[in-house]
Each structure stands twice: as C-alpha cells, then as structure tokens.
Amino acid sequence: MENKVSLLAPGGSPEMAQAAFLAGADAVYVGALGWSRRTARYELPDQDIGAINQLAKEMGKGVRVALNTNFSPLEMDLFLKKVERFAQWGVHGLILTDPGAMFLVKESFPQLEVHVSAGANAINLEDLRFYREIGVDMVVAPCNLTVEEITEIKRYVDVGIEVFLHSNTCFTYLGKCLMSSYFRYQWHRDQEGKNHFWGSPNRGGYCHRVCKAQWSMEKGDPVLLKNDMFLAFSNIPRYLEAGVDCLKIQGREYSIDLISDIVSFYRSLLDELTQQGKEVDMAAYLTQLEEISMKRDAQRNSRTHTVLQEVVEEIPLPL
C-alpha cells in the first residue's frame, strides 16, 4: 500500500508543537485566541503562533491556524486583519467554518490553504462540491462519516479529506449542537473587540460535554459514557485505500508527553503501512494503542468529569 498521507497534531503550546514535530507530525494546528472551538486556556496569542510558525519553517513542517468559530458581520474586519498577519508570516493554512470567510480568504490570500472545519458539517457530495467551487483545499470530515461515505466523496469530488484519529463521538454534528448553550448563558467581549458566548464552542466558548453523562432528576456525580477510541485505528488501512489525505490527532488539552507518545505511535504505523509490500502486524500496534489509550482516557475523563461537575452544580434542582 502506498499513499502519502499527512499526520496532523495539536499545538496547544509552543512546547507541544515542538514535541509533536520531533515525534513525527507533518504539521500542527493551533487555535487563535478567541477564534477557535476551545476556551482561551487552549488557544494561543498571535506571538506564540508566530513562534510556532517560525519553528515549523526551520523544520520543514506546516502550521494551520483554527479560526473556526462562527463570527458576526461586525467581526469580519477583525478576522481579515488577523488573516493578513498570518499570511505575511507565511502560515501554511487556515481552518474555517464560515463559507463567506473561506471565499474572502481565497480571494485575498490565495497562497493560504483553506480547510473546512468539522464544525461546518460538510456531509454530502453537494456540500463538498460547493466548498471546492469556492476554492477550499481540504474538508475535515465530521466524526459521523463512515469509510464508505468518505470513499464515495473521494470518488466524485477532487478535494482533500481529513479524518480524526481520536475524537469524542457526538450523536449530532458538531456545528449543529446547541446543548451547551442551555447550560451556560454568558457573553464576554475581549480586548480586540470580539464577542464570545461561553455557552457554545461555535461562538468561542466551550463544549460542556453534557451528552457524555447519564442524567437523572437528582443532582449527583455524572457518569461518563463509554467512548471507543479504537474504531479509527482499525479503519486506517481503509482510509488510506480510500485516498484520505490527512489524519488528525486531537488533544490541545492533553499533556505534552501524551501527545508526543500518540504522534510517535501513528508516525510509526503510517510509515509501515505506506511502504510498498510491507506486512504490518496490526495486532502488535493495537497492544501499544491500548497502553496509550489508558493514559489518554485518564486525562480525558478527568477533564470531562470536571466540566460535567461544573454543569451539574449550576443546574437548579427540580421543584
């Protein structure tokens, strides 16, 4: 099997980005402060993004900046100023949700790659054709899409496809979920003049993961629902056969050591899978993944439990 597929890792900090590069990531994605689908704790100010981009150039790597919240028309000038700065620095690409923003970027900064965020919910051939017509280079497939659906897309639309290797499996599509906004209604205006609604990752807030708990009419410790992280692993050979262009590791909120371990694992696996005629012992890799998953789940579950507990404490008891 021979297919050049890039490995994309999180850059939650300059230190994490460097560790990901050293572990074998081809590129990292970073969240611009106030503009990506994470809280400020996991986003970066422009100067840190510039430092990461310089490091990437020196190492022959790439950087994608996530500006994938939904912003209002009043914020478009702020958006374009930020994009102009990144373009001048030579950033490789942007991850966007808003179709109008994608069109403007390709019109004004054609050297920038544009990647359609999973939050845009591009899920059928006509969606993909539309985005390709306005010039986008790659579409991040929502976690819900099957290998068969991705294969069909690659067959009929000449656009890059990126899939997640680790992700919380939502029962709805990312950009269409409004559950968190029912639990936290709070606005914040940052120093650049951009408004953030803390109750929704679509507007610069956070996903409070309320779908990951089993709820009752009484307050109590939330019970985490099982999240199987091994499905993507078993599908990797099929992703390569389908022509997937990029495999994405999530985890800006994880520790640097864990991200380094995950990147090293997938770098080794992809290198073996893409060697012509190479027989790969997937069972041996599965054993390694099980060990990594224990560390990953411990960190994810701890964070999810904290977020859910905050939500539980804010909900009034039923009368």
What are the tens digits of pLDDT across the range 8-67?
999 999 999 999 999 999 999 999 998 887 777 889 999 999 999 999 999 999 999 999
Cα distances (Å, whole numbers) of residue 168 to 13, 123, 224: 22, 18, 12
Write down the pLDDT at residue 73.
83
Write down the pLDDT at residue 199.
58
Whether 276 shows a pLDDT value over 90: the answer reads no
Amino acid type, 15: E
Write down the pLDDT at residue 272.
94
Identify the DSSP state of 44.
B
Write down the pLDDT at residue 303.
65
CA distance 151 to 244: 8
Whether 194 shows a pLDDT value over 90: the answer reads no
Q: What is the pLDDT of residues 195-217, one digit of tens each?
A: 665 556 665 666 666 666 565 55
Residues 6+ apart with CB under 8 A from 43: 30, 31, 32, 33, 34, 35, 36
Q: Domain residues of the chain, as ranges?
A: 6-314
- Among 255, 160, 297, smallest CA distance to 150 is for 160
Whether 308 shows a pLDDT value over 70: the answer reads no
Helix (H) or strand (E) holding 103: helix 99-108
Name the pLDDT band for 114 (thresholds 50, 70, 90): very high
Write down the pLDDT at residue 208.
60
Write down the pLDDT at residue 293.
87
CA distance 140 to 120: 9
Identify the DSSP state of 213.
B
DSSP secondary structure of 118-145: GGG---SHHHHHHHHHTT--EEE--TT-
Q: What is the pLDDT of residues 216-258, one digit of tens each?
A: 555 545 544 444 567 789 899 999 999 999 999 988 889 999 9
Fold classification of 6-314 (topology level): TIM Barrel (3.20.20)
Q: What is the pLDDT of residues 255-275, one digit of tens each?
A: 999 999 999 999 999 999 998
CA distance 24 to 273: 15
Write down the pLDDT at residue 71.
81
Identify the DSSP state of 32.
B
